[in-house]
Amino acid sequence: MHRVKARVESNAKVVHGVHRLRLSSSEIALEAEPGQFVHVLCGENRDYILRRPFSVHRVQNGSFDLLIQVVGKGTTYLSQLESGDALDIMGPIGRGFEFTGNFEKSLLVAGGIGVAPLVFLAERLREDGKETHFLYGAATREGLVCLEDLSTVVQKVFSVTEDGSFGYEGLLTEFFGEAFQEYNPDRIFACGPEEMLRKVAESTAGTVPCQVSLERKMACGIGACLSCVCRTREGYRRVCVDGPVFDASEIIW
C-alpha cells in the first residue's frame, strides 16, 4: 500500500451524478487488483473529516480510474475537481476478487454503481481468456453507466432496469435465476447494494462459488480502527483489509 499525491488527469461527467476520475499514480496502477480500493481524502477540510473508499474501476499505464457517484459532501468535492488538481490517496488496499482459480465461465452481477470494480475484473478475465457474462441492473437506462464499456469486454450483458427504460423491467435479483440458467456459470462475482448481494448469495448457496464485494463506512481504511466490520462465520472481520471481497458463504447476512 502506498500513500500518494495523485494528480487528476481528467474528470468526466458520465451521466448526471456520476463522474469518472482519472488519477495519475504508477504505483497504484501497477499494483491494484480487481476488487481492491483506494482511500481518498476529499479535501483538506475540517467539516467532514474521514477519507472515502472507492473501488479501483480500471487501470491504464501509469493511471487508474474511479467511478464516483455523487451522494454527499465528499463525493461532491471529488466531482468538482479539475485536471491538474492533486488528491491524497492511500492504496491499493484490501483483498480483491480471487479469479485465478479453475473455472471456465463466470457471471458478474452488478447493481448500480457496484459496477465499478467489476469492469476491472471483466477486463482481467478477458485477458485470461475466460468466458464472462454480465448481469447489470440499475434504476434507469441512464444508471447503466458502463454498458458501452462492457460491450467490448464481456460476451453478453443481461440488462435490467427498475423502470423498464432498458432491458428487462424490475429488480436485478428477480432475473438472477434466468440469467444463471442462460449462462450456466461456474463462478459468480457480485457488487452492489447489500440486499442484492444477500439475495445473490442465497440463490447460489451450495451451487457455484460466489464472491461478493461489501461496502461499509470506514475510518482508517487500513485495518486498525475496527469500524468497518461485517459479521462472518469466523466472527467480526474487517471489510477494509480482510475484504472488501468475501466468499459469500462466509458472510452472515
Partner 1 sequence: MIDLSVDLAGIRMKNPVMVASGTFACGREYSEITDLSKLGAVVTKAVTLKRREGNSPPRICETPSGILNSIGLQNKGVDCFLREDLPFLRGFDIPVIVNVAGDDIEEYVAVSRRLSEAKVDGVELNVSCPNVKRGGMIFGTDAVAVAEVVSAVKKAIGVPLIVKLSPNVTDITEMARSAVDAGADVLSLINTVVGMTIDTDGFKPGLATVTGGLSGPAIRPIAVRMVWQVAQAVEVPIIGMGGIVEARDAVEFLLAGATAIAVGTANFMNPSAALEIIEGLEGFLRGKGYRSIGEIVGRVQA
The site for partner 1 (CB under 8 A) is made up of 1-3, 41, 46-51, 88, 90, 216-231, 235-236, 241
Residue 89, classified by CB atoms within 10 Å of its CB into exposed (0-12), middle (13-18) or buried (19+), is buried
Shortest distance in whole angstroms from residue 87 CB to partner 1: 13
Query: Given the complex with partner 1, which of 208 and 241 has the nearer CB atom?
Result: 241
> Looking at beta carbons, which pairs linking 51-54 to residues 24 or more positions away fall under 8 Å?
51/90, 51/218, 51/221, 52/78, 53/93, 53/215, 53/218, 53/221, 53/240, 53/244, 54/116
DSSP letter at 113 equals G
Beta bridge partners of 45: none
Q: Nearest distance from residue 218's CB to partner 1, in Å?
A: 8
Please answer whether residues 160 and 192 qualify as being in contact, where contact means their C-beta atoms are separated by less than 8 angstroms.
Answer: no
Q: How far apart (Å, rounded) are the C-alpha atoms in residues 224 and 242?
A: 12
At closest approach, how far in Å is the CB of 223 from partner 1?
A: 5
The answer to whether the CB of 37 falls within 8 A of the CB of 93 is yes
Using the minimum distance from each CB to partner 1, give the nearer residue, 17 or 223.
223
C-beta of 42 vs 201, nearer to partner 1: 42
Pair 58, 119: CB distance under 8 Å: yes
Q: Of 12 and 226, which has the nearer Cβ to partner 1?
A: 226
As measured in angstroms, the least distance from the Cβ of 82 to partner 1 is 23
Q: How far is CA 75 from the centre of its chain?
A: 16
Q: Which helix (H) or strand (E) holds 246?
A: strand 245-247
Judged by CB, which is closer to partner 1: 13, or 217?
A: 217
Peptide bond between residue 34 and the one before it cis (omega within 30 degrees of 0): no
Q: Are 188 and 210 in contact (CB under 8 A)?
A: yes
Min CB(114)–partner 1 separation in Å: 19
Q: How far is CA 209 from the centre of its chain?
A: 18
Q: Which is nearer to partner 1, 69 or 165 (CB)?
A: 69
Question: Least distance to partner 1 from the beta carbon of 42, Å?
Answer: 10
- Residue 1: CB minimum distance to partner 1, A: 6
Q: Which is nearer to partner 1, 41 or 147 (CB)?
A: 41
